[in-house]
Structures are given as structure tokens and as C-alpha cells.
Amino acid sequence: MTAISRRRFLSQCGQSAAAAAAAGSVLAAEAPRERPNIIVMLADDLGYGDVGCFGQRIIKTPWVDRLAQQGIRFTQCYAASTVCAPSRSCTVTGQHSGHTRVRGNDYVPLRPEDPSIGRMMQDAGYRTAIIGKWGLGEPGTTGIPTRQGFDEFFGYLNQVHAHNSFPTELWRNEQIVTLDANRDGKQGAYSNDLFLQESLAFVERNRRRPFFLLWWHTIPHAFPAQRQIEVPEIEPIYRDQSWPDIEKRFASVVTRMDRHLGIMMQRLNKLGLTRNTIILFTSDNGPQAVPPHDPTFFKSSGSLRGIKRDLYEGGICVPTVLRWPGRAPAGTVCDEPWVHYDMMATLADIVGKPVPKGTDGVSVLPLWQGRKAAPHPPFYWEFHEGGFHQAVRMGDWKGVRHGLTKPLELYDLRNDRAETRNVAARHPEVVARMEAFLKTARTESKEFPIKEA
């Protein structure tokens, strides 16, 4: 954990952070309550390099940058998968992608016996909600949010339905809500704007009791069928740029989402909840390539190799910022690795509940508080599209394998974050250790059987 000076931090974040910091007054110092509120804001396909405090120099994200200025920026936080549904499943169940039920973008529902972060937080006395994109259970199944420990749900159950940002209907708990503003081809209600309003209302209703909110956007995800990114309008700062239209749209949705974060931060301040609310901002996986959108246009992966659907760093290492006033030291950077399936164990540590059985994550509460943590157990990922792919991280060693019969690639992340040099031939002992781990790291799944490419 390395603290950085204010001047150096602002230079890393760019001018947007300085502008946002100057725009608002000093946050009120409210007396903390016994248990912190928790908001997890999840972007959809936001790359490691898509926000200012992680190196973006073109797209403006002043509120994410300000959040980092007030908290911790994690340079090696991992999504639990490289596509949407399993990434969310791992976060909800606290299991890695070799154990969680939903291991790919398919219509497999969570079951009652699966661990649930929602149920755990309910047991701790929290009001729980998921607002936005779910993807872990179709209507009437055991996987819908209200049957997985969430008191309130508003959004998309189905991830393909989430490809329409101007839907004619969404779900509220177990009922369909009709959106007349989008009927007959109209585009009067942008879903992510609705998610903002629902999230603000949830916070308002529960301001006098502890709450746990998963606020899961569907942007900046591009939509393959339409080959488009939907947004109500191009942001004024991008309109006159000589960019392809879809890149103006991409920049606009990222900035719009950033503004949503700012509105939430201001509302928490107005309600006197700032000091007792944890905000975690992150992404579900790396950036997407949906032509004509090109993830290299804004260098969305930063200096990392790979994009969504890769198990290289660019596909799974995601921009992550945490603000927890009085606990997470402001303006600091943490280079220690952790992964989204650690979230359940970490929150259990915070709220004083036992970690549910059958989970894989560990508490990284020391990292969230700016302290050193014990070495993390090996990280594990698997991916089932285009064959069977696995990745493992042990310390600074990263292994990637494409198929059970293919040789393991080995990378030294301490000296090669971009994974440009496969050093497997030079370190057979590390390869052997990883191969032994991979043999027992996962369980078989009838819904996601191993298929060679």
C-alpha cells in the first residue's frame, strides 16, 4: 500500500479530477452509525483504461476520479470472469468461476442452496436491493433476485434484454413494469437513468437503517445485434470531435455513468450519509469489441493485454475505486491483488457475520482499510466460449491455458503486466505447481461441461 501526494494523484487522474474536486464543497462530517451502508456500482464492459484515474486522457470521468481522490485506487483488482453473467454469479455467491453455478452467458438460474451475498446481508439486518442488470435467473425460477436475498429489484432479469437501453418493460421484484415512454419506437426513458432514480429513492427510503445496494449499470456495453451503443444524446464536449459516431456514443455513456456516480455522492452528502457509506466502483470485465466500436480507439485496456472474453489481464483486471471515509485512507493506491469473489468474505468481516459455506473468497478488509493483508490464495478463472480456457494467479505468477491439452503459458506480472513474454520454459517448477493446482481447482458442471476448441 503506497500513499501518493495530492499533486501526484491529480496529475495521474488528469484535469478532470481537479475540476470535480473544486466544483463541490467539503463533504459534511456526519457522525458514523454502527454499521456502514454499502453501495457497489458496477459498470458493464468498462475497461481498465476507460477512466481518468486509471490513465484515460480523453473521456472525462471527474466523479470517479474524485472518488479515487477521496479513497483507494486498486491497480490489481480482478473481475471474477471475463463475461457478464458468470462475473455477477461469482460476486453474488462468493465462488470462483470453477465452482459458481452460472459459468457462462446462458440461461442457468441460481438455486436456493447456492451461497448468496444478499441473504448474508439480510441476516446482518440490512435492507438489500439490486438495481440494473441481473442475468442470474429467468422469470419464475429460483434465480430471481427476490429469491436470492434481495428485498428489492428493479431492472433486467435477462442479459440479452439488457441490450436494449430503451425497453418497453422492466421488472420490479416479480412484476413487469410497462414503460409507455418507449412504446411505438419512442425513446423517452433511458434504462440507466431510471436505475439512477431508483437507486436514489432506495437510499432515501432507507437512510435511517443500514442498506446494501448493488447498482449494476448496463453501460458502456455495446449491442452486437444493432452494432450500436445507445445513449439519449451525445455529450456536448464530444459533439464536435472528428471521431466515428459510435466512439462519441461510447465516450458519452461513460461520462453519463460518471455523472450518475456524482449525483449519488451529492445525495449521500445531502442526507448526511457520506461518512457511513462505503462506495465501491468497479466493472464486470474488460472492454468489448463490437464493430464498428474499437476498444483500441480510447485505449480501453490501458497497457494491458486482451479484452472481454480473454483471460489475459485486459479481460479481467478492472478499474476499481473504494471510498470509505475514516477507514480507507484518501488519495492512496493499493497494488495488492484481490478479486470480486472476495467481496462476500470482506463484507462478512465488516458486518460481523460468518462467511457462508461453500465460498472461495477471502476477506480483504485490511486492503480496504489501507493496511497490508496476508498473501492471497491462488486466484482461479475458467471460461467456456470457443473451447475451455483457464487462468491462475499465484503471487506474481500468472498462468493461462487454452484447452486441457495445450501447454500452460506463464507470465511474470511483477515485471511484465502486459503479458508479452511467456516464460514457461524457464520456470518448469512454477508450471508444475500451477498444473497441480488446476487439477483440483474446479468441480464439474453439467450445464457447462468442458469442451475442447
pLDDT in tens, 308-331: 999 999 999 999 999 999 999 999
Tell how far CA 12 is from the center of its chain.
Answer: 22
Are 237 and 220 a contacting pair, CB within 8 Å? no
Contacts of 280 (CB under 8 A, 6+ apart): 38, 39, 40, 41, 320, 321, 322, 343
Where residue 433 sits, what CATH number does that domain have? 3.30.1120.10
What does the DSSP 8-state code read for residue 159? T
State the pLDDT at residue 101: 98
Q: Global pTM?
A: 0.93
Rounded (to 5) percent helix, strand, coil in the chain: 30, 20, 50
CA–CA separation, 98 and 425 (whole Å): 27
Single-letter code of the amino acid located at 296? T
Name residues of the chain where pLDDT drops below 70: 1-34, 453
- What is the domain extent for residue 408? 386-440
Residues 206 and 281 grouped into a single domain: yes
Strand, coil or helix: what is 77? strand
Domain count, the chain: 2
Q: What angle do CA 392, 395, 400 make, to 5 degrees?
A: 25
Measured from the Cβ of residue 308, the count of other Cβ atoms closer than 10 Å reads: 25
| CA distances from residue 284 to 40, 212, 296, 446 in whole angstroms, order as listed | 11, 18, 19, 24
Q: Check: CB of residue 254 under 8 Å from CB of residue 61.
A: yes
Task: Based on the fold, state whether residues 171 and 318 are members of the same structural domain.
Answer: yes
Beta carbons of 438 and 392 less than 8 angstroms apart: yes
Mean pLDDT of the chain: 93
- The reply to whether 448 falls in a domain is no
CA distances from 363 to 21, 131, 134, 275, 350 (A): 31, 25, 24, 22, 9
Q: What is the pLDDT of residue 225?
A: 83
Q: Which of residues 375, 399, 424 is at a domain's end? A: 375
Give the pLDDT confidence score for residue 380 in this predicted structure: 98
CA distances from 276 to 33, 38, 69, 273 (A): 6, 9, 17, 6
- In a domain, residue 447? The reply is no
pLDDT digits (tens, 9 = 90+) for 211-231: 999 999 999 999 888 899 999
| Edge-to-edge strand list for the sheet holding 397-402 | 379-383, 389-394, 397-402, 409-412
CA atoms 328, 333, 335, 340: torsion sign: positive
Paired with 78 in beta bridges are: 317, 339
Query: What pLDDT sits at residue 453?
Result: 64
pLDDT score, position 202: 98
Domain co-membership, 97 together with 238: yes
325 and 429 co-located in one domain = no
Domain closes at, from 346, 375, 404: 375
